[in-house]
Amino acid sequence: MTDRLLVLVRHGQSEWNLKNLFTGWKDVDLTEQGITEARNAGRRLKAQGIKFDVAFTSVLVRAQRTLDIILEEMGQTNIPVFKDQALNERDYGDLVGLNKDDARKKWGTDQVHQWRRSYDVAPPGGESLKDTVARALPYYVREILPRVLRGERVLVSAHGNSLRALVMVLDGHTPETIPTLNLETGVPMVYRLNADSTVASKLDLAA
């Protein structure tokens, strides 16, 4: 039986996650906690007996380091890795580098919540989740999904919003339900797909 395995994992805690800053495409590294989260993710996946054939990540270092650490923990550092900005975090535009609490004081709690959590309202100069879906989903359909359906076991290390774009499709979320979905850092989501690309099973490997 073909496995059709797809594992999605949000990068471990980054330096700007820790500081409560809007990060977007700013290229920041992992914190010590983020490194630990990535190691734990690798250990949990190894405990499941999973062997990957290929991995995908963004062009941002926090996702790449998370991937490297996971594969190191699993003893699978020799698999092909593809990097593409289609999997980058959502671009927060003018909000990048701002503290989220300071942004709420400047624009109001409701406005900042709408920028962060609505489906189709973009922050000034940035992307909405809808915009992120528009670049991440075609890449998934073109580059990642065909490999999964051929029976390759695929790992994707990316970001909260680029992964929400994929989970939206996999888990059947709508523009109304996706705003409530929050993906924890460093927690692998293990999907097994049916031949028609729908989800046969899903397992969250939380601590």
Helix (H, G, I), strand (E, B) or coil at 141: helix
Query: Which segments within the chain are labelled E, that is strand?
Result: 5-10, 54-57, 81-83, 154-158, 189-193, 199-204
- Of 89, 127, 152, 159, the catalytic one is 89
Neighbour-count burial for 20-48, b at 16+ CB within 10 Å, e otherwise:
ebbbbbbebebbeebbebbbbbbebbeee
Residue 159 annotated among the catalytic residues of the structure? no
Confirm whether 89 is a catalytic residue: yes
Instruction: Report the SS3 class of residue 56.
Output: strand
- Catalytically active residues are 11, 89
